[in-house]
Amino acid sequence: MTTLIRGGAVVNHDHTRRADVLVEGEHIAAVGTGLSTPSGATVIDAGGCFVMPGGIDPHTHLDMPFMGTTSADDFESGTLAALSGGTTMVVDFCLPGPSQSMLSAYQEWRHKGEKAAGDWGLHMAVTSWNKERFDEMETVVKTYGINTFKHFMAYKGALMVNDDEMYNSFARCANLGALPLVHAENGDVVARLQAQLLGRGLNGPEGHAYSRPPEVEGEATNRAIMIADMAGSQLYVVHTSCRQSHEAIARARAVGKRVYGEPLIQHLVLDEGEYQHRDWDYAARRVMSPPFRAKEHQGSLWAGLQSGSLQVVATDHCAFTTKQKRGGIGDFTRIPNGTGGLEDRMPVLWAAGVNTGRLTMEEFVAVTSANIARILNVFPRKGAVAVGSDADIVVWDPAATKTISAAKQKSRIDYNVFEGFACKGLPRATLNRGRIALLDGDLRAKAGDGKYIERPAFPASHVAQATWKELTAPRGVDRAAVTP
């Protein structure tokens, strides 16, 4: 299939220029002015539009068993929502059960992903630690094309790992050329605060926010950064929601640590006032971790995106219906944690970021695709409108408007946390590896169109030479004396 995108302005993370874009098959064949139309080519008129790399959302939970239920959007509805909003690739989390091997969890998630309508990849979660996990990590990196491992410092009694496990896994990541990710909240303190609040009879959704103050996140972010430094690994902090966490990341970067931070679109525009709503359903629908913060934290997150101390805007799309949320009536700790946003991330960020002057168009591209493509080691295959790159392209009409409404969304849930938000700037067309997924409101993509994207390992660290023997050496023994 050949497509010529004619008459637009191509926006990459580092420059903007007026150019046509020729797509042949799955790739971009030419970028330049006055390109001639090959016979049989489809022509998309991009006059008045910006032609940008398709968005990459590196943080989704589609079809995920969690807190006694399963997230409502699967790989089909989630990726269709993504494509409608200009996002051409998602990276989801493969979560092994308590005693499940990473290898069998990977097979399960690959099966779930067969329905994806857009490109997708996986992060692997480290949910338990032993020699089997240590060994499996090598297969995950070298055979499955997964170069990222997620660690939950929260969800005590479920997904949470302790400092010892994190240190070992981070060192193993460095050794394999993989990047550790953390959900940074102090799960022990959260559990304590939850019990205190419930003990005082505070059981509504607002209790969720009170039990997870910014200090809980700031402490865990600092701790993860220091552990990563000692283990010799880089670090990516998911859903950075508050000033304390952002400052920890900025401090680390200022002394040369390779640490990345990922604010969510929700935390950039929604605040803790949402949990004070008198309607239980309204507040519970917004329960996610970390919770929405006091408004002043938003300024810190925007500043981080502007200055480069924070690099990526994601969604953490983990959607639950109102019926699922109601499982937590009478006990906020049982409200399934998670909100949606896949269809809305790019339009809301454009409206709140570019239209307000907070972000340039190039910065918009950086934080929605190019930076994460580099962090995940798939740039410039993804995250660039350039010759040879995958033809993942969004033709963005800066004059198009809509008001977000659950009634019109692709997600399967019955509400939208951005309901009523006025967007100006929307995708006119979305192409995923050359296939027209969306054109003028016509969503053409279908289940199975997406491709699983493998990501190569980074060069292995020369600092971390951790073997299983080293990592399990009894404490107090000089590590140098333990020969592999």
Residues between 305 and 324 with contacts to Zn ion, criterion CB under 5 A: 316
- Peptide bond just before 290 cis, omega within 30 deg: yes
Q: Is 343 in the site for ligand URP (CB under 6 A)?
A: no
- The site partner of 204 among ligand URP, Zn ion, none (C-beta below 5 to 8 Å per kind) is none
Total site size for ligand URP, rule CB under 6 A: 8
Residue from 5, 9, 49, 61 touching ligand URP (CB under 6 A): that is: 61
Q: Is 160 in the site for ligand URP (CB under 6 A)?
A: no
Residue nearest Zn ion by beta-carbon distance = 183
**Shortest distance (Å) from residue 199 CB to ligand URP:** 23
Q: Is 150 in the site for Zn ion (CB under 5 A)?
A: no
- The site partner of 57 among ligand URP, Zn ion, none (C-beta below 5 to 8 Å per kind) is none
Tokens of 79: 């990726």
**Shortest distance (Å) from residue 61 CB to ligand URP:** 5
Q: Is 455 in the site for ligand URP (CB under 6 A)?
A: no
Q: Is 253 in the site for ligand URP (CB under 6 A)?
A: no
Residue placing its CB nearer to ligand URP in the complex, 304 or 340: 340
Q: Is 319 in the site for ligand URP (CB under 6 A)?
A: no
Residue placing its CB nearer to ligand URP in the complex, 52 or 318: 318
- The site partner of 288 among Zn ion, ligand URP, none (C-beta below 5 to 8 Å per kind) is ligand URP
Q: Is 464 in the site for ligand URP (CB under 6 A)?
A: no
Residues between 26 and 55 with contacts to ligand URP, criterion CB under 6 A: none
Residue placing its CB nearer to ligand URP in the complex, 66 or 167: 66
Residue from 338, 341, 434, 450 touching ligand URP (CB under 6 A): that is: 338
Residue placing its CB nearer to Zn ion in the complex, 136 or 316: 316
Residue placing its CB nearer to ligand URP in the complex, 151 or 183: 183
Q: Is 73 in the site for Zn ion (CB under 5 A)?
A: no
Query: How far apart are the C-alpha atoms of 387 and 23, rounded to whole Å?
Result: 9
Residue placing its CB nearer to ligand URP in the complex, 338 or 425: 338
Question: Residue type for 178, please?
Answer: A
Buried b (16+ CB within 10 A) or exposed e, 91-127: bbbbbbeeeebbbebbeebeebbebbbbbbbbbbbbb
Tokens of 400: 């198009």
Q: Is 265 in the site for ligand URP (CB under 6 A)?
A: no
Residues between 177 and 206 with contacts to Zn ion, criterion CB under 5 A: 183
Q: Is 337 in the site for ligand URP (CB under 6 A)?
A: yes
Residues near Zn ion (CB under 5 A) are: 183, 316
- Please report, as ranges, the residues that interact with ligand URP according to CB under 6 A: 61, 183, 288-289, 316, 318, 337-338
